[in-house]
Amino acid sequence: MAVAARGLPAPQGLLARWRERVFRSAPADAGEVVLRHSRIYILPTRRGLALIGTVATMILTSLNYGLSLGFLVAFLLAGLCAAALLHTFRNLAGLRVRPGSAGETFAGGSIPFTLQLRGDGRERCGIAVEPRDGPATFLDVDAEGTASAQVEVAAPRRGSVPLGRVTLSSDYPLGLWRGWSYVHFPVAGLAYPAPEAGAPPLPAPQGAADESGSLRHDDGELAGLRTYQHGDPLQRVAWKTVARGGGWYTKAFESGGGDGGEVVLDFAALPASLDTERRLERLCAWVLACERAARPCALVLPQRRVPAGVGREHRRVALTALALHGVS
């Protein structure tokens, strides 16, 4: 899911504008970005510097010993380096990039993002896609097709995690030059609070206390079948239907009359000894526990209330509320 990151005001002043243009520190790219020469930077790699140093040594030697052929070889190598520069540039120039999906994770994990790369009629080899806080991904791009690059951005804390500036680079074909280009899309993923490890059991549901913590459902309480959604607990899959080849369905149960049987996870009801983050982590663990147990739960936060429900979508809404708690 993509969440728009906060927009930044346009940079003021010539220097700031120039810096923004060079370093792309603001998420100002929208839609599809075409890497043109104004965006592409090229500098020699270490290997390139080593070879240039060797060429310089060869020239010095040739000067000393009057070796015309030494000059010739040194300059042929220099020509090779120059040609490699153009090829590296061409490998990046014209590449089209658009943001794909942004994933979610729990705090402490990393969020997968995808970027769609199109070759624009030219094959691209060995493109490195590298977010600021994550490892680089290497991929080839077809001349006509689309390649998607998946990168992971570390999410140490809960909240919205912007993809940030991504560096597309390549040292193809000879590894002597590294061309790179920055793209900065306003794309962000979500980091949910890390679920508390060893959280206490779920609070008693409102109304029907004797039903807590169990999965006892008789067939008589079965309300019907609904289409299986990814993430539904396996205990509730209608296996008989599946075995008959009738498709995937999930058993839906009567929730015991109105809101009476739902678990209410209330931020304010938690012990005062826990600070906000601890409380969110416990609530997160409980939301996941309810989901595993297929029990409907409602979430009450100081500024937000998530009505009771079950299923993947409900879980996502609840976790998002927890992730964004206190984030304006």
Partner 1 sequence: MKLPRLRRKASDPRRGRVAVPLTAAQSGWLGATILAAQLPGALHVPMWIALLGCALVALRLWLTARDRARPGLAAARIPSWALVIFAVAIATLLRASYGYLLGRDPSVAFLFVLVGIKFLESRTTRDGTLLVCLAAFLAITPFLFGQSPASAIAMLPALLLLGATLAALAARTPRAVAAAAPRRAVAQTGAMLLQGLPIALLLFVLFPRIAGPLWGMPQSSRATTGLSDTMSPGMIAELTQEDTVALRADFAGVPPPPSQLYWRGPVMSRFDGRTWSASFVRPDGSLTEPRDVGIDYTVTLEPNDRPWLFALELPAAMPEFSADEASIDVVVSRDRQLVARRSVGQVMRYRQRSLLSDRHPALARDAAENLRLPPDANPRTLSLAVQLRGQHAADREYVDAVLAHFRDGPFVYTLAPGVIHARDPVDGFLFETQRGFCEHYASAFAVLLRAAGIPARVVTGYQGGEFNRRGNYLIVRQSDAHAWVEAIVDGQWRRFDPTGAVSPLRIESGISRALSGALELPLFARLDAGFLKDAQLLFDAINHSWRRNVVGFDASRQREVWRSLRLDPALPGQAVGAIAIAGAAWMGVVLGWLAWRRGRRERVAAMWLDVCARLARAGLPREGHEGPLDYTARASRRWPDYAIAFHAIGEAYARLRYASVPSRERDALLAMLKRAVEVLPAPAALRGGG
Q: Given the rule CB under 8 A, which of 172-180, 213-221, 277-285, 314-322 is the region that contacts partner 1?
A: 172-180
* Of positions 30, 143, 215, 242, contacts partner 1 by CB under 8 A: 143
Residue of 144, 221, 254, 313 interacting with partner 1 (CB under 8 A): 144
Pattern of binders to partner 1 over 46-85, x per CB under 8 A?
Answer: xx--xx-xxx-xxxxxxxxxxxxxxxxxxxxxxxxxxxx-
Region of 126 on the Ramachandran plot (φ > 0 left; ψ -120 to 50 alpha; else beta) = left
What is the C-alpha separation between 93 and 179, in angstroms, rounded?
10
Q: How far is Cα 319 from Cα 105, in angstroms, rounded to an integer?
A: 10
Candidates 4, 10, 30, 125: give the one binding partner 1 (CB under 8 A).
125
Distances (CA, A) of 245 to 230, 240, 251: 18, 9, 16
The answer to whether 146 and 116 are in contact (CB under 8 A) is yes
| Region binding partner 1 by CB under 8 A among candidate stretches 98-106, 119-127, 260-268, 280-288 | 119-127
Q: Which two tokens stand for residue 247?
A: 């498709």
**How far is it, in rounded angstroms, from Cα 186 to Cα 164?**
8
Q: Considering only residues 135, 213, 231, 247, which one is a binding residue for partner 1 as defined by CB under 8 A?
A: 135
Under rule CB under 8 A, residue 10 binds partner 1: no
Angle between helices 276-293 and 312-323 (to 10 degrees): 180
Q: Which is nearer to partner 1, 62 or 114 (CB)?
A: 62
**Binding to partner 1, residues 84-103 (CB under 8 A):** 84, 86-87, 89-90
User: Which residues contact partner 1 by CB under 8 A?
Assistant: 8, 19, 23-26, 45-47, 50-51, 53-55, 57-84, 86-87, 89-90, 121-123, 125-128, 132, 135-136, 138-140, 143-144, 165, 171-176, 178
